[in-house]
Amino acid sequence: MPDFTYPELPVDGLLRTAAERHPHRLALRTAHEALTFGELAVRAERIAAFVAQATGGRPGARVAVANVLDPVFAAAYHGVIGAGATVVLVNPLMGEDGLRHVCAASGAELALVPAATAGSLAKMRRLLPSLATIAVTDSPAALVPPGCVALHTALEEAPATGGRPPADLDDVACVQFTTGTTGRPRGVRLTHRNVVANARQTALAHLLGSDSVTVNHLPLYHVMHLNSALSAGACQVLCTDPDPLVSLAVAAGTGATHYYGLPARLHRLAADDRLPGTPPPARGGSRLTAVLSGGSRLRPDAATTLRDLLRVPVIQGYGMAELSPLTHCQRPGLDRPGAVGVPVPGTRCRLVDPATRRPVDVWSTGEVQVKGPQLMAGYLGEDTPARTDADGWFSTGDIGYIDGDGALRLVDRADDIFKYDNEIVSPSRIEEILATDPRVADCLVADWPDDTHGGLVWAGIVLRDTPGSGDTPGSGDTHEVLDVLDSITARANEHLAHFERIRLTEALDAVPRTPNGKPARRLVRRRLAQQAAC
């Protein structure tokens, strides 16, 4: 592996460097505004002055920032860090319980959030004694809840501040909470070194350069995309319209080279009946070089459909909050459906037997372990990274294997697999089989507790419109729905081993998901356990 180097900079140095090198080059575009790197840096500096005033300039003060898909997040993120404070990332789509947990666990004393989130925080303020100031980041016309301040007004009143001493690269720059798919969300402490190293790793893995234009068709602003683009000096286009065809038109109209989407949205795009009829020039544009997906599993059938229709590689990546987050990425020419790619520069990966913890060979299934400069400093309340051995190997909790190309292929989360008569069942594998049925719009597989076998395969299925009927099966006769489910189950079971066969099915209106778009499998398993106990 070639030596990997990254800038010895604090996180806010990424924006400062981009502004120094390309002050007049476009950094961010939306449907309503465009900002150069220089203009974005000025906004960040103004927010830094406000944050320094609101927190008394205390190094490491925790500031909650909602990662909305808007330029205000980019400025706030780098402004908070530029003030010497620590960003606590807040998902504005989470419920009040999650919001309270994130702010309480982190000890946030200042929040920069949209009006709706500000209103929720204001109502629970007595439960958050550390939270002194709530600033609303929406436009000036937004309604500011009682007890909160408008950020645009506060910025006008904040005095200019001088520079601050450079941060130690091993100081915590950001706290990002896990998605909570396997338990209560935990705060991950990421250092300046972690974030800057991963920004460089991502830029290299995604082949980003100063002439790159990225379209972010995401429900939230991901720090990985923000900082990798800054590292490369690339322009970002933020597309908030949920219509996937609109996002392709935006990519074509802006000369995008990279298109970022979550698997749930890419699945809908692949199944969109309008896509095959869209003229090729409007399918992302002539400069598009790749569609990139991460966060959860992208089904192989969806990847293949998009690759064939868009005529570009569909690249899958892999990582997690504890790893800043990217550790693996496919390469153009090796974008095999179902794989998540090879380690990004500076990262090592191995698989170990879950029981013996000894490394396993190629094609052998084991738990994924990684090490690299992007590994977190630890969870909140811990001094050293949890799940990390003495040699620096971090256990991800994911089960997979390395294929003949050296690419990682994931089987499932260690917490998601279960046993039927001592045979391991992978829900993701069964979901892939179900997804090949044209009558299935979406699905989720989990275990139904069983005293005899351990766990029976349960499948929740979202039905697509019945061909030629014009009606959704779920809205018609119950017997018709059951007949369709039985037929889908029989078709899938023909391709499954006896211990993988689906024993129970349920028609769903939608697959329950976390605010980040991942299947909420833990909640479903809890419901099934309650039903089985009745």
Same domain, 478 and 386: no
Same domain, 374 and 339: yes
At 181, which CATH number?
3.40.50.980
Least Cα distance to 59 among 8, 17, 113, 10 occurs for: 10
Q: Which amino acid belongs to residue 256?
A: A
Per-residue pLDDT of 475-529, as tens digits, reads 457 889 999 999 999 999 999 999 999 999 999 999 998 876 778 898 999 999 9
Q: Which amino acid belongs to residue 44?
A: A
Q: Is residue 224 part of a domain?
A: no
Same domain, 486 and 429: yes
How confident is the model at residue 141, as a pLDDT?
A: 63
Q: Is residue 515 part of a domain?
A: yes
Say which range, 330-334, 466-470, 491-495, has the weakest mean pLDDT: 466-470
Same domain, 403 and 497: no
Say which range, 9-13, 20-24, 318-322, 335-339, has the weakest mean pLDDT: 335-339
Question: From residue 198, how far is each of 11, 56, 87, 321, 388 by CA, in Å?
Answer: 11, 30, 17, 11, 19
Least Cα distance to 172 among 61, 290, 95 occurs for: 61
Neighbouring CB atoms inside 10 A of 169's CB total 20
Per-residue pLDDT of 393-404, as tens digits, reads 999 999 999 999
Phi, psi for residue 456 in degrees, rounded to 5: -100, 145
pLDDT band at 181 (very low <50, low <70, confident <90, very high): low
* Residue that terminates a domain, selected from 190, 214, 229: 190
Same domain, 398 and 272: yes
How confident is the model at residue 386, as a pLDDT?
A: 87
* Residue that terminates a domain, selected from 379, 413, 447: 413
Per-residue pLDDT of 4-54, as tens digits, reads 999 999 999 999 999 999 999 999 999 999 999 999 999 999 999 999 999
* Residue that terminates a domain, selected from 383, 413, 443: 413
Domain that holds residue 510: 418-533
Same domain, 391 and 440: no
Mean pLDDT to the nearest integer, 165-179: 92
Same domain, 371 and 277: yes
Same domain, 245 and 278: yes
Mean pLDDT to the nearest integer, 343-364: 94
pLDDT band at 414 (very low <50, low <70, confident <90, very high): confident
How confident is the model at residue 383, as a pLDDT?
A: 79
Per-residue pLDDT of 252-266, as tens digits, reads 999 999 999 998 899
At 294, which CATH number?
3.40.50.12780
Same domain, 100 and 247: no
Say which range, 96-100, 263-267, 280-284, 414-418, has the weakest mean pLDDT: 414-418
Per-residue pLDDT of 55-69, as tens digits, reads 999 999 999 999 999
Same domain, 512 and 378: no
In this predicted structure, the answer to whether residue 320 has a pLDDT above a threshold of 90 is yes
Please state the domain count of the chain: 3
Say which range, 153-167, 231-245, 339-353, 511-525, has the weakest mean pLDDT: 153-167
Q: Is residue 198 part of a domain?
A: no
At 495, which CATH number?
3.30.300.30
Same domain, 388 and 441: no
**Percentage of the chain exceeding pLDDT 90:** 77
Q: Is residue 345 part of a domain?
A: yes
Least Cα distance to 187 among 379, 375, 378, 387 occurs for: 379
Q: Is residue 159 part of a domain?
A: yes
Q: Is residue 296 part of a domain?
A: yes
Q: Is residue 265 part of a domain?
A: yes
Same domain, 369 and 426: no
Q: Is the dihedral of CA 375, 380, 385, 388 positive or negative?
A: negative
